[in-house]
Amino acid sequence: MKKVMIIGGHGKIALLLAPLLAEAGIEVSGVIRNSAQIDDVAAARATPVVHDVVSATAEELATLFAGQDAIVWSAGAGGGSPERTYAVDRDAAIRTMDAAAAAGVSRYVMVSYLGAGPGHGVPSEDGFFAYAEAKAAADAHLRTTALAWTILGPGALTSEEPTGTITTAPDMAHRNTSRANVALVAAAVLDHAATIGHTIEFTDGDVPIGQALDQTLAKG
């Protein structure tokens, strides 16, 4: 893998993932909406690409993606109105999947969350409901595509230092997952073809990431 484009290039996970990929010799680009974020993305050793994926058409996105080897979705509305959440976390995400397919970029890694899906259990009156619904729809769409997809489901995100160890049999009572570990897992699955077609839910734990992934895949 030579070229990876991260959607949501200024996100906390993206800024941790980009240097990991760059260190591995991968040409990384980070898609951002705000030009004020250019320096931060560049400092993370990614090429900043200013493009609003929310307003872009699938055709425009396909042009943007041309020549990439993989797309990583690490964007999010970050709260706000339900309308904005659906526009970013569902609609824009789905367009990037369709655009990746149109551009011939088969590898696609989605950063989702632990417990995502139609049975998420979030009440409609909860402020998290729109996000849960949006991610359920986006993940479901990705699974129907012919893309070489992997969905990551980390637990509650923290800013703790990376440990390089996780568990893929998470205890829902202990859900914490450092963003740094999420970045390490994302880098690992991009280089691990056996993770294609799998949803990997995890939290911080005591098993080295590579070993944890192998154990999960061995279980089918």
CB neighbours (10 Å) of residue 159? 8
Nearest-CA neighbor of 91 among 76, 71, 79, 104?
Answer: 76
Question: What angle separates helix 129-144 from helix 93-103, to the nearest 10 degrees?
Answer: 20
131 is catalytic: yes
d(CA 37, CA 174): 33
Is residue 205 a contact partner of residue 167, using CB atoms and an 8 Å limit?
yes
Provide the CA 213 distance to its chain's centre, in angstroms: 17
86, 108, 113, 131: the catalytic one is: 131
Catalytic residues: 131
